[in-house]
Structure 1
Amino acid sequence: MKIAIIGGSGFVGTQLIQKLSESPNLSLLNIDKQQSAKFPELTQIGNVLDKDGLTSSLKGADVVVLLAAEHRDDVTPTTLYYDVNVQGMRNTLEAMEANGIHRIIFTSSVAIYGLDKDNPDESFPADPFNHYGKSKWEAEQVLQTWYTTHGDWNINVVRPTVIFGEGNRGNVFNLLAQIASGKFMMIGNGKNEKSMSYVGNIVAFLKYMIMDKTTGYNVYNYVDKPDFTTNDLVYHTGKILGKNIPTTHIPYFLGMLGGYGFDLLSFITRKKMTISSVRVKKFCAVTKYDSTKAMSSGFFPPFAMEEGLRRMLKAEFGK
């Protein structure tokens, strides 16, 4: 089986290629606009915005895994979310059709549900609050429309929550780095629950989709359980690193005022700041999602949540 991974040079893609490489009967191709630091021999430079190039690169593939996305929360202009995430989906599907490929695994996001929802499962209505979530939902709608006229295709949609792990430099890393430094300021009471996914588990689940879910249109949230509160993250970080981590609490409204101040500073200086009102809002929001469907599908996560957290903390901050 030849598997083409579009957007596989990043954090999740690199881990997925490593996981799939454990199976000698799989042939792998990475298509990305950036060279892969770890798998250059498997990489072809390409872009989801270049449909002709994509069509050429996908020749001979049996399955496509679409990871490519604009996902940061400070992308400018915001039209890039829709160019890459939505038009990129259309280009991918048309390139697949030109090559007779009928199987795709798409990584969407729980961002399609919005913030502060009541533990949504896959049947929950979409209500995205930002351009990333809106563009991911539009990409899913493109897939749904496509399937109405391509019923013989196998389409698997995976909606992960925030992914963490060794080598990650996203929001979870930044949060854990602040906690580990001992100079952490908690905005709000810290009781908001945060669903997360360990990278070792999400790539195992993507491999499970490739190997075991080979028919129909399937949608899965992916969340590792249990859900930690921000207070839990502080506790486990201190426990794993053997540190007493003091926490300064500041009220939510002051945190938001600070976020708006950084928004204004970013606007004036035309520079991206590490703090923004959007990031404060996301930090304080309840982001808890139901993963019953994925966990009852026959898949078993290879790592417990605390073990994944331990692996990341030891690798990044345990020196």
Structure 2
Amino acid sequence: MKVLVTGGAGYIGSHTLVALLAAGHEVCVFDNFSNSSPVALARVRQLTNRDIRLVEADICNGDALMQATTEFRPDAVIHFAGLKAVGESSENPLLYYANNVAGSVNLLAAMDAAECHRIIFSSSATVYGRAQYLPFDEQHPVHPTNPYGRTKAIVEELIRDWAAAHPTASAVLLRYFNPVGAHDSGLIGEDPRDIPNNLMPFVAQVAVGRRTSLAIFGDDYNTRDGTGERDYIHVVDLANAHLAALDYSEKGPCCEVVNVGTGRGITVKELVAAYERACGRNIPAQIAPRRPGDVASSYAATAKAERLLGWRAALDIDAMCTSSWRWQSNNIEGYGDASAG
């Protein structure tokens, strides 16, 4: 199958490329490298011994998208490209709407021009907002609390309307929980720009000496140890979920939203302890005040993914931390290492 992958050089995109190529698919990556590195694609080629077609351009460039789709003629699209920092989205909402929403409009128009009507969309559990009940299932009301989450919810609706207008269209909207970890080779992994927004890459940078200590925001939540609890999923499991979604989309017209998580919560302290086991080092940490907007617990109901896609997460927190440490210790400065390439 020919698959166009927007944002394919990114963290989740690069791991999904490995899975796609291993399954024998032909891929074309569309990426502007605004939050990724060409080194990731070189590493994917190294891992798979397969070539990757690349179009270096921005999804806000409708002409470039149109040219890419009409030349490559994909059978399906996996849409990762988008801005994803919650804090930044509140500071610059117009940037997020222009990139995430208008960029997705451009993509769907380009898909129409190429007569491609199958899409797997990278959505987020952020669309749920505050939990009315746990675990979050796909019927939970959608009330995102920040512009980033709202752009994801809007694009979901956009794809639903687009699919309804095309009788043969199939769409799977994957709502990720908290992707972590890295490929077992240590060649590709998460390489955030500036200060990490997420817990595990921050812990990894403390473990490797790039940062001095970890701030744990609140230890008085109603959880096992008082720290916040989240559903962490190994990025390799997440990549495999995209393959399962791609296979499902081939069965016929559909538009389905599916949670992608483990169904289990891990607290901050539990994650830090697992990382200490993985790296054999102490992770210095201090308790800090709660952050506004943080919740005690968030984890997924995963029955639909298993029933619909035949997929379930297989890797545990120790595998997540071990693979993350292998990546970070081999690439202390991420893809910016002088030795990268």
TM-score, reference length from structure 2: 0.77
Distance 1:144 1:248, change over 3 A: same
Superposed CA offset, 1:113-168 (max 9, x none): 11455322111111101110011101111112222222320111101012112321
Matched position secondary structure for 2:327: helix
Distance 1:27 1:233, change over 3 A: same
The match for 1:316 among 295, 308, 328 is: 328
Question: Which letter does structure 1 place at the counterpart of 2:127?
Answer: I
The match for 2:126 among 89, 105, 111 is: 111
Match of 1:257 in 2: none
1:20 paired to 2:20: yes
1:283-302 pair list within 5 angstroms:
285-297=296-308, 298-302=310-314
Distance 1:53 1:294, change over 3 A: same
Match of 1:135 in 2: 151
1:64-75 pair list within 5 angstroms:
64-73=77-86, 74-75=88-89
Question: Over the residues paired in the alignment, what is the CA RMSD in angstroms?
Answer: 2.4
1:188 paired to 2:218: yes
In the TM superposition, what is the alpha-carbon distance from 1:245 to its structure 2 partner? 4.7
Distance 1:204 1:282, change over 3 A: farther
Query: Please, which runs of 5 or more residues in structure 1 have no aligned partner?
Result: 253-279
The match for 1:54 among 65, 81, 105 is: 65
Match of 1:203 in 2: 239
| Identity among equivalent pairs (%) | 24
Match of 1:229 in 2: 267
Match of 1:36 in 2: 38
Number of aligned residue pairs: 291
In the TM superposition, what is the alpha-carbon distance from 1:225 to its structure 2 partner? 4.2
Match of 1:173 in 2: 200
Whole-Å separation in 1 of the counterparts to 2:325 and 2:23: 29
Match of 1:268 in 2: none
Match of 2:108 in 1: 93
Query: Please, which runs of 5 or more residues in structure 2 have no aligned partner?
Result: 43-51, 183-188, 220-225, 333-341
Counterpart contact for 1:179–1:234, Cα < 8 Å: no
Distance 1:82 1:11, change over 3 A: same
Matched position secondary structure for 2:4: strand
TM-score, reference length from structure 1: 0.82
Match of 1:271 in 2: none
In the TM superposition, what is the alpha-carbon distance from 1:302 to its structure 2 partner? 4.4
Stretches (4+) displaced over 4 A: 244-247, 282-285
Question: Which letter does structure 2 place at the counterpart of 1:81?
Answer: Y
In the TM superposition, what is the alpha-carbon distance from 1:301 to its structure 2 partner? 3.2
1:145 paired to 2:161: yes
Match of 2:336 in 1: none
Matched position secondary structure for 2:143: coil
Matched position secondary structure for 1:301: coil
Superposed CA offset, 1:185-229 (max 9, x none): 422214321112211111111011112332311111111243201
Counterpart contact for 2:265–2:297, Cα < 8 Å: no
